[in-house]
Structure formats: structure tokens, C-alpha cells
Amino acid sequence: MQRRDLDTRPSGLLLQAQARLRAQARGLGRRRLLQGLGLAAIAGPFLRLALGGRPVRAAAGKAQRVIFFYFPDGVVGPSQDGEASKWHASGSEHDFSLPAQLEPLAGHKQDCLFFNGLSMGPADSGSHPGGAKKLLTAVDGGFGESLDQLLARTVGADAPFRHLYLGAMANQNNASGDKHISYPSPGVTITPEDDPRKAFDLLFGSGSGGGDPDGGPDPTQVTVIDGVLGDMETLRAQLGDTEKSKLDLHLEALREVEKRIKSGPTGTCVDPAVDLAAVGDDLYDPGNFPAVLRAQTDLMVQAMACGLTRVGVLQSSNHTSELIMSRFAGSEMYDPNFDMRSHQASHYGAKHDEGKREYADYLKQRRWWVSQFSYLLDQLAARPDGDGTMLDTSLVLLCTEVCDGNTHLHDDMPLVLAGRGGGAVSPGRLLSYGGDRHAGLLAAIGQALGADLPTFGDSGSGPLGGVLT
Amino acid sequence: MRGEAPLRLPRRGARALRLALAVAAPALACGDAEGDSEGPELSLDDGDTSRGASLYRELCAACHGVAGEGGLGPAVAGWSRPGDALIHVIDATMPPQNTAVCTGTCAADVAAYILDGLTGGGCDGSPTSPRQLRLLTRREYNSTVRDLLFTAPLDEGAPCAADVDCDLAAESCVADLCAADPCGRHTFLFDPGGETYASVHVAGTFNGWPGTVADGGWAMTLIPEAGVYVLKADVGVGAHAYKFVLDESDWIPDPQNPDTEDDGVGGQNSVLDLQCDEPGGGGASLDPAAGFPVESRPKGYGYDNNAAAGLVTAVHVDQQLKAAAEVAALAVANLDALLPCDPLADPEACARDFAASFGRRAFRRPLTPAEVEKYASLIVGAANFSAGVEVALRVMLASPYFLYRAEIGEDAGDGTSRLTDYEVASALSYAFWGTMPDDALLDAAEAGLLSDAAGIEVEARRLLGDPRARPLLGTFAAQWLGVEGITATDKSAVTYPEWQPALGEAMAEETRRLVEHVIFAGSGRFDELLLADYTFANGLLAGHYGIDGVTGDDFAQTADPSGPRAGAGILGHGSILATYAHSDQSSPIRRGVFVRERLLCQPFGTPPANAGGVPEVDPNATTRERFRQHSSDESCALCHTYIDALGFGFERFDATGRYRSDENGQAIDASGDVSDVEGFGSGTSAPFGTLPELAAILASSQAAHTCFSRQAFRFTMGYLETPEDLCALAEIDARFAAANYDVRELLVAIVTSPNFVRRR
């Protein structure tokens, strides 16, 4: 806050630097130019750029995209008997250390914001489903639109795919709706695509996202869409408000596909580098889970790298997960002779007891989830975007539906926000709060994406202080 | 503040939180970050009745009753104290297992609902059901596409009074017209050459080679006019071996069937290999909906057809367009079968003719003149007639009129709506067949025959008598019982090396067959589902169960009267036992919860914070011993009293559904108690010693029957019943009881109830 006040004051140095940038911009492509103009408006990061610091986006920069990465069943938080959390970082904003569960993020410590003291509120505290309902809606009982859906229909609406919801065994055994975290309308969830092959087909194959890059729109498909739109309008005129709002969601979806079809192939990648060979036939074989999640993660990154979407949700399994994580060959919790499920391990008991199998496995499992998140960040960081990488221009939220898996509480939520969001966020810090709502973090993410979102959730929370630069 | 009237509460339940702290102090150890400051105070004006309705169903109904009539908790309907006091009670004390679950606005919402809408409705004739657009599920979409495009319409058959009036070998008399038998049905014919027998029956791989009719042999009926013994049976696609048994002693191959094989004891079995012709080519194997997103199933609603959750996303649209293109291309490959007219004679007339006649089937209602013109012009505007039909098909198949079945209705003149006759036709056909109406049903709608309950009943009975109703009821049962996942369930290869996917598939088939058999061939009674002393198995499953006499891949009816499952009906099915278990151990909890929630409609709230996990497998203890803490710990016992003592009744069956006489060398105690079977807090005890005894308790309970009625209602209507349905449900329950709990009568009662056709 202080820094911004300081930096926005014009100074000789600033004016000098702006002039230099304008001169540089003449030699840049259009995209760079736009970024340069953005930089010129706000001086802080620009100064660092001009003075040879790490290339970062403007303070009021916008995140190009957001990914919500969900894993089930919480973390090793404070134990029932009062032992300290094994998840939450300790220290000050700029000088802090990561506990064991977050170790896989050590290489990305400077890319992440860590949080202490964020709450989802008291309603349903103690419950997995209650937490999952609030996680992205910030509304008790899930009676609200989730942030991913809101962003998809606003700032993400111009992308070929407004929303990409990929899962790994997230629909297992006909999971009930309260196990899914994306709410297009209050109280109603949609289901993720659990099959990487189908997701690939949708994005890059014969679905409307792919096709011949040289060909125009398929004229027949255009005729078909127009015909369907005609029927939609006729039907809509016959409906009452409730059914109309349902049909409007359908209509929006149809418009999205129409745009994809009428503008011809939309993706900028013809031959996306996603290897699905490792994905076995049985999507619900727990031994196959790591390969499925890996493929879905790769697809998510690839879709975003190709400019196909700006809003993504990756859902790993679902709450109270029956996923047998001891079947993950090569992982540290692998044990073919003993089945340890996620939810089973989460009830490790009242204490952090290293000698207890559930506890030991639970720690390993949580580390594994974090390592998967870390992999996602690696992939984003490996792809150039503008002056930096996709991680610089993105925001990625690591989230789960409860704090400690044994107590199920909704306070001190284990959330990690990664990426610089195009300069909207300055990561590498530990932010501590006194029970502020996580809704404020969601509002901040929304604003970083450019959404007009003064508040979010039923707590009416504005952007959490300290998150946005 | 507390002294003021009316009492007001801070918006966030700080006080409730303190209460929760007092009850379970350690529960709040996860940080001390509860930072809700006291906001504006709450009053009833803050309550939202529709949110409250959902919350009430989820959090309160289990104890206080769907209509607030009371149960485990006191009645809340007709609350006579001030509304703010109700908010206060909910905020501070409810639900008792975890008072932090519903505070603040949640409490206000629930209170508003209780005070506003809980009085129930419908009995005064006011309408109750919501108007809805019901998106076709993936299974409905596939069946509809198949019936719309790839099954040749039945030729109008000759009038008949009985099967014998038709071509007996290939037709049956359905609704007074001869109709071709469906695929999978075979007609056994035996010409006795003038002899008469006291009994002729069919025995084979499909029914377990019974030696007598009493043991399950399929009796053949003498048709005096034709002088032959006849039996029509749905034996299913695939290879079967059989013999005729004369007077229950003389086993002979079918004289009319030239295909035989050695029977292993010096004689010959007749062999039958049934395959289905697919007019139009391969319709049955079409799975155009394969790429559609999985249906979302709201918690507590176990079916794939929830209307509110049936939203169309862009992924749906993408896949719908793709499916429409694939299906249309396939369909026009056989254009002649599709067209009712000759396009060469008069293309425009033929285009209109096709648009009108096909459109009526695709949209399940007649097209308006404007719609006929629209689709006809798509056809004639294309490069050639075939391409035009293809485009028209693609539009129709992606049209909302095809993808949704509307339950909107027309103004009934009293401020309410009644479904149109065409909407009723669709509601009926999807309820009983899971697919589009046939021509007869559309004709009935056109003739106005579905505008009263009597007319609906006639068609309902016709639909239920049709073979298409059988697989649909099997699907309903699999979703009701929650066992669809059995075919993909995981078992530990270490603990259960014998487990294989084929076993899961066989278990799914077993349950489907038993349900279909009971409803359509057995007594039809709900009780028989829970009490059957027979089942259906192939060789693999019979071996797993330890039942002798069945070999090979074919399913046969089996009887094992002295076995541990006999008399337990579906409760002894592997589908249930293995679904409600873990990968490496049985689960009395999951099985107990299954019975309470699925069979008795007694849902639990969410477990309290600090609920323990599953105890680790102790090689020296029985599962029952390991779960003892549930009953010794008071906070656990609150719910587990109702779960464990019931779930222990399944303990003689392991996580793969196999019988075990002991566990880790120790004797198994499978006795228990279905306490409060008619509802939490009713104060009854019903002890049992074995699984069949447990089944008998359920089968004689009112709750199980009422629950089944609720389940069928949900599946039919596409929503979880609300208090406004209670009057209609009471009537449905009464008809179910009056019909001796015949499932088909229950289904007829549901579709003839006012709520089936009336909308608010």
C-alpha cells in the first residue's frame, strides 16, 4: 500500500523510464506494445523492469487466467488435542519457513502466497460437504454461483471455452452433487470430465475446439446452430422465469459453441503436446490415478497455453474420498499389501502420532497432493508468455474443503495462491489474518482477472487486504 | 440484548459457536481464526424460504419429518411461539450433533420455511409439482435415438384377442394387435403329436435345469385350438441349452430344433443362439451420448434424472452437436427406411410430410405449421434430398424440443397448469420405458385420451405390460440401491485375490434379473424383493456364492433354500454387499447407512467433527469388535445406535459378498437390532439373529414400504418430494397398500395422482 503511494508520484526517474519504454515499444509486436502501455501507467514494477529487475507485470496488471486445483479431505492441521498445524507456514510476511507438507513447493516458494487465518465461516463447519459447497461459492450451503463460473461468464467469456472443468476420478461411483465444487447456479453443481481422452477430443480433436486450421467454419454446422438457436428462442418465449433461467444457461452454452464454430478452428495449437499414452483404460482404477491427474493437468496447461480458455478447475477425486492412495506405484505411500484411502487416513486420531499408520500415510498423501500442484506450477513456469512465463501471467489456487482432515473445521483454510497474475499479485509472502473470510481471497482473485467484483460471497467480503498489489 | 423482545441474534452465530465449544471443545483446535464479527441482527425478513426448504430437507427432515410432523425430534409444523424465537432455537441448538452447522442466515432461512410452507399442501386440490424442463439423461438420449431412427416402426398388426391369433412363433398379442416379439424373447413350441401330458416344462441353462415346475421349471401351456404346447419367455440374447421335460420325468430335446449338442450323459440338448436383427443397422450398439457429461445427482437424490440438476453446459452442446452429426449421417445411409414418401415425385411435399411425421416423433408432439415449414425448407434448401434430411435431423436432435421433455403444461383456468396430453405421453414413456413414446401413445395423446386419470391408467398399464418396461425397472432398482458402480468396484488383490470385474458384472445382472423377475414374473410384491429365497446367477457368481448346479455364462434361477442368503432377497446380493464395503474389509457402517437411507428413507446428518475413521484391520479381532467404540462413546452412539447394530447383520458376508463362517478364526456374531425401524425416536426394538431375519423385519415394516414409494416417486418425477407432495403421497401409499404392495400398482398410482399432471 505504502509502496504504491510512493511509486505513483511522478519523478524524474519515472518520466525518463517511460520515455525509454515508449521508444522500445516501437520495435515490439502489438501484444508487447499493449503490455508496455499497461506498464507505463503504473510505475512500481515498471521501475524494476526498467532498472533491470525481474520482469514483472504492472501492479494493476491483470491475470490472464486462473486455475483452481482441488484435492480432497484437508490437511494435517492443528490436531484435536491442540498440537500445532503441520501445514501452515510460520514466520513473518517476507521471512517464513514451509512445513513438511508444503516441502514439495520449496522450489516455488517465491511464486506463492501462503495464508494463515482464513476462514470459510461457521456454517457447516465440521463437515466435508458443507466445506465443498462453500469452497468456491463462499455462500453457505452452496446457494451461490461459484467464482470459476462467474469468471467464465464474465472475463472468460471471450475465450473459445469459457470454462474447463477436468477431473481425476471425481465422478467415481456416481458421486453425489455435493462432491463437486463448480456451481453454475445456486445449489446446482455440474460434473467434471474425468476422461483425459474425451477432454483432449473436446479441446483439440473432433470437438468444436479443433479442426483444420486452414479451413473456415463448417457451413453445415453453422446452419445447424442457426436452426437450433431458432428453436431455443421459440421455446424461451413460452417459458416462465425459472425454466427460462435454465434455458438461458443452455443458450449461453450454445452461443459459446456457435462462436467456436463460426470463427473456425480457434486454438492456436494444431499439434498439442499432451501424451495420453500413460493413461490406462480403467479411469477408476486407483493405480491409474496419478497418470490420469497428470494427463488432465497437462491438458489444462496446454489448453491455456493455446489460448482456449482462461478459467479452469482441476478436481482430484472428491471429498470423503475413497481413493486408495496406497496403490500409487512409485509414491512414498505405495504399499500393495495395504489399502489406505484418503478419507480413512484423514481420520488419523486425536494426536499427530508418527507411530500411527493413518497419520504417517496422511502426511505422505498431503505431500503428494502438494507435489502435484507443484508439477502444475512447473508446467506453467516452463512456458513463455510475454516477457515471462505463464506462471507470471496466471493465478493458481490450491484448495481443499476442510482444514484439518480429522476435525473438519472450516477455519484456517489451507489455501495457497500461486502466480503473479500479470503483476496483480506479488507472491513469495506469508499473509496472516485473524479469521477473515476466504471469500475476500476469492474476490481478490476475481479482481485480478479483471472482473467487476467489489465483493464476493454471502459475507459481502471485499478483496482481502494484502493480496493485490 | 437478550432481554429485548423480539429476540435478535448477531448475523453470524457467535453464540452458537460458544455452545459448540462447550460441547466439543477440542473440535475447534484447528486454528483460532474464527473471526466473525457481530454483524447486523437477524429477523425473519432475512430468511429465504426456498433456501430454507433445501436446508430443512438436508438438516432437519430426518428427525422432524418432511412435513415437520415430528419423529426423532418434536413436531415443528404449526410453531406457535414468535418466529424470532424459532430462529434463536435453530441458531443455538440445532442440529444437536453439531450446532455450528446451521447458524445465522441458515437459521433464518429454515425458520422462514417452517413458518411459511411447512404446513404441507396439495390436499385442498392446489397444485404442487414444479414446472420443469427435463433434460434427457445419457441413457434416455441413447434409447430415444435408437427408437427414433433405428427401429423400424412396427407394422400395424392384425387384430387379435390372444397370442394364438397371431403368428405364434414370432408375434404376441399386445393391446389387441399382433406385434412382433421383442429381441431376446423366444417362443418354445412343442407338438405332442396328439398325446396329452399332465405337465410339459422347459428346463435349461436359463433357469437352472429344474426337474419340476415347482423347482422353477417353465411350464408350457397347451393351446387346444392349435394342439401344441407353447411358452414365450425372455431368455435374452446369446447361447442357451435346454430340454423339454414331459410329465416331470421324460427329458427330450426340442424336436423342432435341429441344433443340438451333447448333453454329457449320453443324450442331446437343444441349442438356441438368439441374436437380434437391427433394422436400420446397429442401433442397439449405438452410444452417441458416450461423450456427454455425467449427470449430476444432488445429495439425497440417487437417480440420474434430477430435473433441477439437468443443466446444459458448453460441453453438453459440443457433444450434442457431435452426436447429432454422427447419428444423422448413419440414419440417412438408409434413407428409404426414414421417409414416408417418395422424394422424387414431389420433393417439397415429401419434405413437409417427413418434417411433420418425423418431427412429431422427435419432438414428441405435433409440429406447428411454422415448424414444419422451417424443417421442410432446411431439407429442400440443401444440395440434395438426402443431405437436406441429414441437416434437418441434426437440427432436430440438438433442438431443445428434442433434448428436453417439457413438463410445463397449459393454463388450467384456476391459476395452475396441467400438462398437455403430449407432455403426459412423454412423462409416461420415460417413466416406464426410459425412452420416447411409441406411436400408440402419441395417438392416444392426439385423441385426447390422456386428459384424465382413467385414460392415463389405461396407457400406464399397457406400457407396464410391454417388455420395454423391464430393463427400465432394472435401471431404477440399480439406482435406488446405489449399486451401479459394482461393475467398476475395486477390491484388494491381496485380501481378495479371487475378485474380478466379471464378478461385479454378474452381481449387477443378478440384481437386475431378480427385480425384473419379481415385478414382472413373480408376485409383483415389494416384499418379495426383500424376502426371495431364490436368485439368479451364472456359473461364476454361483461358484462365488457356493451355490451348486449352475455352470457357464448363462444366468439361471437358482434356489439354495438352506443357504445363508435364502430369504434375504436383494440383501444377500453381492451387488449390495460389495458396494457397501471397503476394498479390503466389510463395512457395517456403510451397510447400516445403506439400509437406513436407501431402504428406510431415514437419512443422517453429516457426522460430527472428530468422527473417527475406519479402524485399521486387526488380524486378531472381528470387524464387530473393532467398531465397539461407536457404542461406548456417547457422541458416536447418537447416530451409530441406528447404524451399527443393523449393519452387523451383514457380517457373515465379506467385502466381495462371499459367505464367511468366521473372521480371522473367530466366530462371527451377525445378530443385531433394527431399533426404531419406523423412524428415529419411535422407541421400538427389533432384534434379529441372521440376515434373513433382518430382511423379514424390514419387509414387515411400514417404513420400508413408504420409502420404496418415495423412491419410485422421485425417479418418476425427477425431484425430491417436498411437503407439498405429502397429500398426493399419502394417497399413493394407500393405493400401494390396497394393492398388497404390488410394485406395478404403485407405479400406476404415481402416474395417476394429481401431482403427476398438475403444475404450479
Q: What is the DSSP string of B589-621?
A: HHHHHHIIIIIS-----PPPTT---PPPPPTTS
Shortest Cα–Cα distance, A352 to chain B (Å): 13
Q: Cβ-count burial of B504 within 10 angstroms (0-12 exposed, 13-18 middle, 19+ buried)?
A: buried
Residue B317 reports pLDDT greater than 80: yes
Chain Cα centroid distance, residue B47: 35
Report chain B residues whose CB lies below 8 A from the CB of A408: 609-610
pLDDT for residue B106: 85
Q: What are B349-385's pLDDT values in tens digits?
A: 999 999 999 999 999 999 999 999 999 999 999 999 9
Report chain A residues whose CB lies below 8 A from the CB of B583: 324, 339, 341
Q: Cβ-count burial of B25 within 10 angstroms (0-12 exposed, 13-18 middle, 19+ buried)?
A: exposed
Q: By C-alpha distance, which of A313, A289, A419 is closest to A69?
A: A313
How many Cβ pairs within 8 Å bridge chains A and B? 298
Identify from A411, A412, A438, A441 which residue to disrupt to test chain B contact, counting B C-beta atoms within 10 A and taking the largest count.
Answer: A411
Q: Which ranges of chain A have pLDDT less than 50? A: 1-59, 209-213
Cβ atoms of A390 and A380 within 8 Å: the answer is: yes
Scanning A357-386 for CB atoms below 8 A from B yields: 357-358
Verify whether the Cβ–Cβ distance A123 to B583 is below 8 Å. Answer: no
What average pLDDT is seen over chain B?
A: 85
CA–CA gap between residue A422 and residue A175 (Å, rounded): 36
Verify whether the Cβ–Cβ distance A162 to B314 is below 8 Å. Answer: yes
Verify whether the Cβ–Cβ distance B311 to A207 is below 8 Å. Answer: no
More confident of the two residues B533 and B82 = B533
Verify whether the Cβ–Cβ distance B494 to A408 is below 8 Å. Answer: no
Residue B435 reports pLDDT greater than 50: yes
Whether cis (ω within 30° of 0) applies to the bond prior to B6 is: yes
Pick A240's closest partner by Cβ from B131, B300, B399: B131
CA–CA gap between residue B222 and residue B225 (Å, rounded): 9
Choose the weakest-confidence range: A115-119, B2-6, B491-495.
B2-6
Verify whether the Cβ–Cβ distance A220 to B391 is below 8 Å. Answer: yes
Pick A191's closest partner by Cβ from B33, B296, B408: B296
In A, minimum Cα distance to B107 occurs at A123
Q: What are B398-428's pLDDT values in tens digits?
A: 999 999 999 999 988 887 899 999 999 999 9
Verify whether the Cβ–Cβ distance A257 to B378 is below 8 Å. Answer: no
Determine if residue B595 is left, alpha or beta; phi over 0 gives left, psi from -120 to 50 gives alpha, anything else beta.
alpha
B564-591 average pLDDT score: 95
Shortest Cα–Cα distance, B420 to chain A (Å): 14
CA–CA gap between residue B221 and residue A60 (Å, rounded): 86
% of chain B at pLDDT higher than 90: 57
Determine if residue B214 is left, alpha or beta; phi over 0 gives left, psi from -120 to 50 gives alpha, anything else beta.
alpha
pLDDT for residue A54: 35
pLDDT for residue B631: 65
A148 CB contacts (<8 Å, ≥6 apart)?
A: A66, A68, A136, A163, A165, A182, A311, A312, A313
**pLDDT band for position B613 (cuts 50, 70, 90):** low
pLDDT for residue B278: 45
Sign of CA dihedral A79, A84, A86, A88: positive
Q: Is A171 on the interface with B (CB under 8 A)?
A: yes
Identify from B59, B313, B479, B486 which residue to disrupt to test chain A contact, counting A C-beta atoms within 10 A and taking the largest count.
Answer: B313
pLDDT for residue B616: 59
Verify whether the Cβ–Cβ distance B394 to A174 is below 8 Å. Answer: no
Pick B105's closest partner by Cβ from A198, A341, A458: A458
CA–CA gap between residue A160 and residue A162 (Å, rounded): 6
Q: What are A277-322's pLDDT values in tens digits?
A: 889 888 999 999 999 999 999 999 999 998 999 999 999 999 999 9
**pLDDT band for position B152 (cuts 50, 70, 90):** low
CA–CA gap between residue B101 and residue A122 (Å, rounded): 7
Verify whether the Cβ–Cβ distance A227 to B399 is below 8 Å. Answer: yes
B70-94 average pLDDT score: 79
pLDDT for residue B125: 60
pLDDT for residue B116: 79
